[in-house]
A = this chain, B = another copy of it.
Amino acid sequence: MAFNYEYYLRMDKMPHMWCPGCGIGIVVKAMLRAIDKMGWSKDDVAVVSGIGCTSRTPGYVDFNTLHTTHGRALTFATGLKLARPDKHVIVISGDGDAAAIGGNHFLHACRRNIDLTLIVVNNYIYGMTGGQASPTTPFGARASTAPYGAVDSPLDISRVAIAAGASYVARGTVAQGFMLEKFIYNGFKHKGFAVIEAMSTCPIQYGRRNKLSDPVQLLKWVKEHGVPAKKAEKMSPEELEGKFITGELHNQERVEYTEEYELVRQRAQEAAGAR
Contact = CB atoms under 8 A, between A and B. Distances in A.
Interface in A124-168: 135, 139, 147-149, 151-156, 159-160, 162-165
Interface stretch (A31-39, A54-62, A257-265): A257-265
Contact of A101 (B104, B113, B162): B104
B271 A148 contact: yes
B103 A148 contact: no
Copy tally for this chain in the complex stands at 2
A151 B108 contact: no
Contact of A111 (B107, B113, B153): B153
Contacts of A268: 147-148
**A contacts with B: majority SS:** helix
A203 to B, nearest CB: 26
Given A148-B268, A151-B257, A164-B155, A108 B112 contact: no
A260 B103 CA distance: 24
A164 to B, nearest CB: 5
15 contacts: A99-B107, A102-B104, A104-B107, A107-B155, A111-B135, A111-B153, A111-B154, A112-B152, A148-B264, A148-B268, A149-B264, A151-B257, A155-B164, A156-B163, A159-B163
Interface of A: 99-104, 107-108, 111-113, 135, 139, 147-149, 151-156, 159-160, 162-165, 254-255, 257, 260-261, 264, 267-268, 271
